[in-house]
Amino acid sequence: MAERSVVVGETSVAPTDIEGVISDELKDDTPGVSGEVMLVNTDSFDECNHDLDTQKVTTEEGEADEVVGEPQSPIRKVQREQDNDLVGNMGDMTVEDVVCKVEADNVPVIPQHNNDDDEDEDDVDEEYLQSVDWLQKEKHIFILSESGKPIYTRYGKEDRLVTLFGLMQALVSFVADSDDVIRCIVSGDHKFVFLVKSPLILVAVSHSMASIPQLFMQLTYVHNQIISVLTASALTRMFEKRRNYDFRHLLGGTERLLDNLLNMLDYHPSFLLGGVQCLPLATSIRETITQTIIQYCSKIKNLVFGLIICQNQLISLVRMKKFLLHPADLHLLFNLVNATESLKTSENWMPICLPKFDPNGYLYGHVSYLADDCEACLLLLSVDREQFFTLSEAKQKIVDRLRRHHCLEGINTAIRSSAYTVKAVGAPELRHFLYKSKTTAQFTCPQFTPPYDSDEEQRRVFGLYQLLHHRVHSAARPLKMIYLVMDTHTLLGWVTKDFELYAALEPLVTKQNAIVYINKLLRWIKNDENRLFILSSPTF
């Protein structure tokens, strides 16, 4: 914790100083740059954050239209263009069906919590508020409806925090009375961040290193996760019809996704960087995998995305020509697979809403692991909800061909051995780094090695990355480069138009050596860029 209080000798090097030296040598050999884009890329964190918040239809041609009502919906667009009788009105039906059917008042009861242990309704709030353990959690997340109904709490049981939720709702509506929106309250170490997205209110209470904009981004992710399960229009309509509706009925089973997402937000750099990590893989294997997906899927109408992922890393992504996938949507897919152990044993068919793709409708996902002996998961996302068996057949063919070409083994080997440590770079005083290629929205980082071998140390260095990230992207005073000398670390953050780099070095490294190491690192990444990144953008 020393770093937090003792920021020793925070030297503001004139950016030109180091940058000049490095970029001279580097010229235009920037690692991981590609003109072929498959993921939506955002230039800055602010843009990304704003982008997360607003819905755009982003097409390959780069036209970004704000969605005004339904005609712009990408899902509908696909359905129209594919001109397939089978699809018909599937898209609109779903959302309305959900709302109307539930309205039909067959409202079944969610499995009840045991009522035995909270006889004293009045005391239960107190119980949590007096629990040191509960109070000291690093980051609380609460979700409630605009009318103050509890929906979710990260720790504890939401229905035992009724008065606390009431207080949050009161704060929000008090500020709303003066035609304003509450954003955050800072008190000592604690930040209280509010995201008001009718009909929901999301609140983060944190004393972690995450900055206010970062917490805001995290809440946006939580909101997107809910949209992904329900769709935005279903959520709004539900609430318009019954302001007092208990959303927990609809969200049943989603807690697991939220819990898992919140854990990932605490340690996984992909959210902070707004990028996606690829499983390092020989170009030839990746090419075979991609071609296989294309071979068996290109004739399937209505199929929008086909991708293979494992352990939160992307192996291959093939898309319908007109559409890009947003990293934020991809993160939700990672989270879905990551949080759902049961996908391993069966073939699954599920409605998935990708909020950045289309917040108002579902895609239907055929989700299954490639094989019992391969940990990678295949997702085929279509707008046609009756396509299960077509996709199931395609999956079988894909797996058969991958097996014939030894790609399953290739993937397995990569899963076991492709993670690298910072030693590979050959820069002795460099401890760890995050490198994001901005044009492709992909990033790479080494495994943690000592001194970051404990959970606590990893959390700490992640906190430092958050700090660097916050300083670099500070809205008031954005930086191109930051060089921080602390008593246990030297930190470097550097942002150019093509990349973002965050590095942790030994505390006693000289500035000159740091420059040498960073240059070396960039050259190393450049050398390996075809393995570390996906630089092409295959389509069906």
Give the binding site for another protein (CB under 8 A).
86, 93-94, 97-98, 101-102, 106-111, 229-230, 234, 249-253, 256, 336, 340-342, 345-351, 365, 385-390, 392-393
CB of 347 to another protein, least distance (A): 5
CB of 106 to another protein, least distance (A): 5
Q: For another protein, which is the closer residue by CB, 351 or 451?
A: 351
- Strand positions, DSSP E, 48-102: 56-58, 64-66
C-alpha closest to that of 471 among 480, 461, 462, 459: 480
Cβ atoms of 271 and 218 within 8 Å: the answer is yes
CB of 209 to another protein, least distance (A): 32
- Two structure tokens written together for 522: 């960039």
DSSP, res 67:
P
Given strand 276-277, what is the order of strands in its sheet? 276-277, 442-444, 430-437, 499-505, 490-495, 481-485
CB of 245 to another protein, least distance (A): 12
Q: Where are the alpha helices (DSSP H) in 405-434?
A: 407-417
CB of 297 to another protein, least distance (A): 17
CB of 240 to another protein, least distance (A): 17
The CA-CA-CA angle for residues 21, 24, 28, to 5°, reads: 140
- Counting every residue written for the chain, the total comes to 540
Q: For another protein, which is the closer residue by CB, 69 or 111?
A: 111
CA distance 226 to 165: 19
Q: For another protein, which is the closer residue by CB, 196 or 343?
A: 343
- At 266 the three-state DSSP class reads helix
CB of 370 to another protein, least distance (A): 14
Q: For another protein, which is the closer residue by CB, 109 or 132?
A: 109
C-alpha closest to that of 407 among 235, 286, 273: 286
Q: For another protein, which is the closer residue by CB, 57 or 95?
A: 95
CA distance 230 to 353: 7
Cis peptide before 507 (omega within 30 of 0): no
DSSP 92-148: HHHHHHHHHHHHTT--PPPPPPPGGGG--TTTHHHHHHT-HHHHT-SEEEEEEETT-
CB of 364 to another protein, least distance (A): 8
Q: For another protein, which is the closer residue by CB, 87 or 472?
A: 87
CA distance 244 to 537: 46
CB of 396 to another protein, least distance (A): 8
Q: For another protein, which is the closer residue by CB, 97 or 117?
A: 97
Q: For another protein, which is the closer residue by CB, 130 or 345?
A: 345
Q: For another protein, which is the closer residue by CB, 234 or 427?
A: 234
CA distance 378 to 271: 22
Q: For another protein, which is the closer residue by CB, 232 or 482?
A: 232
Q: How far apart are the first and last CA of the chain?
A: 51
CB of 88 to another protein, least distance (A): 13
